[in-house]
Chains A and B, each alone.
Chain A
Amino acid sequence: METKRKSPLDFTSKLTGQTRYIHDMNLPGQLVAGIVRSPHAHARIVRLDVSRAKEVAGVKAVLTAADVPDFAYGPTRFKDWNIFARDRVLFVGDEVAAIAAESAEALERALALVEVEYEVLPAVFSASDALNDSAPLLHEETAQNRPMHIRIARGDFEEGKKKAHVVCGGHYETNRIYQGHLEPIAVLANWSEEEGLTLWAGSHIPYRARETYAAGLGLPEDRVRIVVPPIGGSFGAKYVLKVHMVAAVLTMETKRPVKIVLDRFEDMLTAHPRVPLSIDIEIGADKEGNFVYKDVVVHGDAGARIYWSPNVIATACSRPDNIYRFQSVRAEGHLCYTNNSPTTCMRGFGNAEMLFAVESVIDDVANALGMDPAELRLRNIVREGETTIHGYKLDTCQLEACIRKAKELSGWDRRDKLPPNRGLGMALANHVSGYSGIDLRFEGSTAVARLKSTGEIEIETGEIELGQGMTSTYAKIAAQALQIDESLVTVKSGDTSKHPFGIGTLASRATVIGGNAVLLASKQLAERVAALIKDQLGAEAVYADGAVEHGGKRYSLQDIAAWHRARHAGDELSVKATYRPDTELPDASFYGHPSPNYPFAAHVAEVEVDPETGRTKVVGYWAVHDSGTILNRTMAKSQVVGAVAQGIGWVLMEDLVVREGQVRNPSMMDYRMPGATDIPPVEIDFIEVPDPNGPLGAKSLGEVALDPVPGAIGNAIAHAARARGTLLPLSAEKVWRMMQDKA
């Protein structure tokens, strides 16, 4: 049973409160630190005086830009980060100074005594405004405030336009939502001459974080170590963070451990929400309903510096095209700097936003043609064995089966007979299982499989457990390869000085890319074990199910471990293996085969809209997935429901309201996330066809589960309200207005 499995992130320790997150960890002599942040969206720092703060008893360090290294750095190719603002602040919350003190009281006192005089500058708050010639330039070297501009075109677009019989489209906007991780962002930092810098930080891309931070500090990478404690939720928020750097410079200055735990207010002010996109879209279909063209223009608000927003734009402009047989597509993407707090990834980034628009417009096309929206989708979807318009090779694709099953489970055929104000909506989604191009130098994953003296197996990986169940998936993969019980496998990761290099747990890489590495290492370990047995007992001895029966005797893995240690000066038997996916890096036009395999999903939502208030309640939800073989059914289902819940929040209630660069609702009281009563029963099914490129046939699941939710709920609302909402969130007020306008 699951609860017996040993793992640092074991269920039992979480359920009994024993799991230690950063907030629960302390080091002797630890200081507490805090940050002075800009109250202005754009301003020149005229005077910065920290002398009074330095005099407070108990204050150990006060740092500003003048005291720290000044290297341009950043996690992507856009190196626009600095540790502290030097002469200009670019957004509300920009770091101006930081203080480390013996006590929270001393810290509070000192923070209040930092004197900053600003000269407020003109600011810009929307991506399209940022492109105007009159907009202030945020980074002088970036013309037009546009760090990224992409154009993608495929197929004969002009011909497609000519063939169109029905054209639907519109202007769509997706909201700035907060990842809503329950554990606030935190870091514990320690510096010593011998060890260098150690950061306990909940990053799920710790090696990239190490590279980024080392560059910012001017240190060689091997002087920076990132240790990843259990992460209390991230959903993209906890990759690479300035607060880690602030703790780093403070510990290097004071030579004492430094801890920073953001309170919820500061977390929401600076936690880098989902990149808001504005999308202009058009889809054309011929008389029979074949999609002849798709055209989109996307503007993305990066905020004042680049986290991972470029990848969001690229994904939005390309990925959803790989669900349908569009005869031609055209996309233009603009990523713009604004004086808002920087934005970054959230689960399903770029794809889920664009799918909201695409899936909405497809329903409009179906209405215009007088077709059932599910039938229109069935007519246009990609199939197994095909290569999609941007080059994705689909060795497996059960999308058709997903749609048929979702129809059956949801009772789709009652769609025309629903009572008033009820609606059923469908949406599809695809995703990748790891994307080649995240790190051009290496696309794979490495795992170590070790036979311990106890006869148990330890797996080390560079990927990170986020509570999604990665450790139990890996344990299952290793257990199968070694023919032993899962409870004998422990999975370890999250220490850049101990475990193998990994790109990080993003782009749904864990199950397929990391899992394949675990499978490879485990198989090789099994081979080494078999060889050792032959050596020890002779050719007729065979290993099976965790032991060898030979000459009337039974030898366990523990015995086998002892044989190896006896011959190798006490060394454990271990193998290290690297999986390199057989993918093709997308070219400059985004054509390629970037992932070992591609998961798909079809979702149906049922809603009831209150015509008096516009309030929407999701009353039923059906999610059918093609994720290949499901390795851990319980966690897979729990992840899908979790994604549906996030989607319900995204579409109906969540909105990080930012006016003039200032977050207006930075508390969980004012930013409402779904509670237990907001989530209807969710029925889930998997169409399980093993994929040849996945470990034991698996494809990814966590992100693709969120991708269709906004589209499905949006379509259900459109069906119920007989009016199309295009601006998220579809709050009660917006839906009410929509219904009034229609009437």
Chain B
Amino acid sequence: MSSLDNKVSFQINGRQVRWEGDPVRALADVLREDLELTGTKIGCRTGECGACTVLIDGQPVNSCLIPAAAAADAEIETIEHLQDQPVFQRLVEAMAQTGGVQCGFCTPGIMVTLWAWLQDRTLFGGDVTSALKNNLCRCTGYRSIISAVEQVVEAEVSGR
């Protein structure tokens, strides 16, 4: 294979990135190892835990299952990019208040999923519990995470 075949261009966190390497390498590894975006965690590599969730064109996906080449020309957003968004900030505050984070390993993936759901509540049939169906958390038992999201939604409805 010529080296030309191994070039992929992504849009990552608003930045155009040209990347060269094995096109079937998992996107999660490319993000973590080559681009040093280690907020995306790897818990299982089999698409079960959701720790590696990133947004591709606004949709949450498991980046451990996506070959780098499959994300070519797409818009990829990782947890590192979401920080500045006001809704994300509100979610951070709510999660801290409800105890939605303990060990924190599942947390970035969960935050990406929740943020996506808050952007578009039709995404998972409208219900935050089903939105979390692709994310595992061993510490919190999920209820505090769900209340955090409810807090954000309520604050929005009441215009605070």
Contact = CB atoms under 8 A, between A and B. Distances in A.
Given A668-B48, A669-B48, A679-B141, A637 B99 contact: yes
A636 to B, nearest CB: 8
B155 interface: no
B102 to A, nearest CB: 4
B31 to A, nearest CB: 11
A617 to B, nearest CB: 14
A236 interface: no
B141 A641 contact: yes
Nearest to A636: B99
B99 A673 contact: no
B154 interface: no
Interface string A218-237: 00000000000011110100
A21 B101 contact: no
A264 B144 contact: no
Interface in A1-59: 1-3, 9, 11-12, 14-21, 23-24
Interface string B41-62: 1111111110100000000000
A12 B92 contact: yes
A635 interface: yes
B143 A682 contact: yes
A466 B105 CA distance: 11
Interface in B1-34: 32
Contact of B104 (A232, A677, A681): A232
Interface string B86-127: 000001110111111111111110010000000000000000
With most chain B CB atoms within 10 A of its CB, the pick from A180, A232, A679 is: A232
Contact of A16 (B83, B100, B140): B83
B111 to A, nearest CB: 6
Contact of B136 (A9, A17, A668): A668
B156 interface: no
A524 interface: no
Contacts of B47: 669
A387 interface: no
Given A14-B107, A468-B102, A638-B102, A264 B140 contact: no
Interface in B135-154: 135-146
Contacts of A18: 39
Given A643-B141, A676-B146, A11 B101 contact: yes
B62 to A, nearest CB: 12
B142 A676 contact: yes
Nearest to B104: A14
A644 B39 CA distance: 28
Nearest to B137: A182
Contacts of A21: 41, 105
Nearest to B106: A182
A675 to B, nearest CB: 6
Nearest to A105: B22
A24 B32 CA distance: 8
B79 interface: yes
B76 interface: no
Main secondary structure of the interface of A (DSSP, over half): loop
Contacts of B46: 264, 667-669
Contacts of A130: none
Contacts of B83: 16
Nearest to B42: A23
B85 to A, nearest CB: 11
A104 to B, nearest CB: 10
Contact of A667 (B48, B96, B104, B130): B48
B41 A676 contact: no
A701 B31 CA distance: 38
Contacts of A147: none
Contacts of B100: 638
A578 interface: no
Contacts of A644: 141
B96 A679 contact: no
A180 B138 contact: yes
Contacts of A682: 141, 143
B51 A182 contact: yes
B96 A1 contact: yes
B68 interface: no
Contacts of A263: 45
Given A14-B107, A16-B39, A16-B79, A264 B44 contact: yes
A181 interface: yes
Contact of B107 (A15, A181, A184, A676): A15
Nearest to A19: B104
A182 B43 contact: yes
Nearest to A668: B48
Interface string B68-90: 00000000001110110000000
Contacts of B45: 263-264
A619 to B, nearest CB: 14
Given A15-B92, A16-B92, A676-B129, A466 B103 contact: yes
A469 interface: yes
Interface in A663-680: 667-669, 673, 675-677, 679
A235 B44 CA distance: 18
Contacts of B96: 1-3, 11-12, 15
A80 B17 CA distance: 53
A668 B47 CA distance: 9
B101 A675 contact: no
A273 B43 CA distance: 18
Contacts of A134: none
B41 A15 contact: no
Nearest to B82: A16
Contacts of A181: 103, 105, 138
A131 B131 CA distance: 50
Contacts of B137: 182
Contacts of A638: 98-100, 102, 139-141, 144
B115 to A, nearest CB: 11
Contact of B143 (A232, A468, A641): A641
Nearest to B146: A676
Nearest to B100: A638
B141 A232 contact: no
A70 interface: no
Interface string A142-161: 00000000000000000000
A685 to B, nearest CB: 15
B141 A183 contact: no
Contacts of B106: 182
Contacts of B49: 182, 668
A646 interface: yes
B129 A677 contact: yes
B126 to A, nearest CB: 14
Contacts of B32: 24
Interface string A170-183: 00000000011111
29 contacts: A1-B97, A11-B104, A14-B103, A14-B104, A15-B104, A17-B39, A17-B111, A20-B38, A24-B32, A182-B43, A182-B106, A183-B43, A183-B105, A232-B41, A233-B103, A264-B46, A466-B102, A469-B102, A635-B99, A637-B99, A638-B141, A638-B144, A642-B140, A668-B49, A675-B135, A676-B130, A676-B135, A681-B143, A682-B141
The 8 A-B residue pairs whose C-beta atoms are closest, nearest first, are A17-B39, A14-B104, A232-B105, A638-B99, A467-B103, A645-B141, A641-B141, A17-B79
Given A16-B82, A668-B48, 4 more contacts: A181-B103, A638-B144, A641-B143, A668-B136
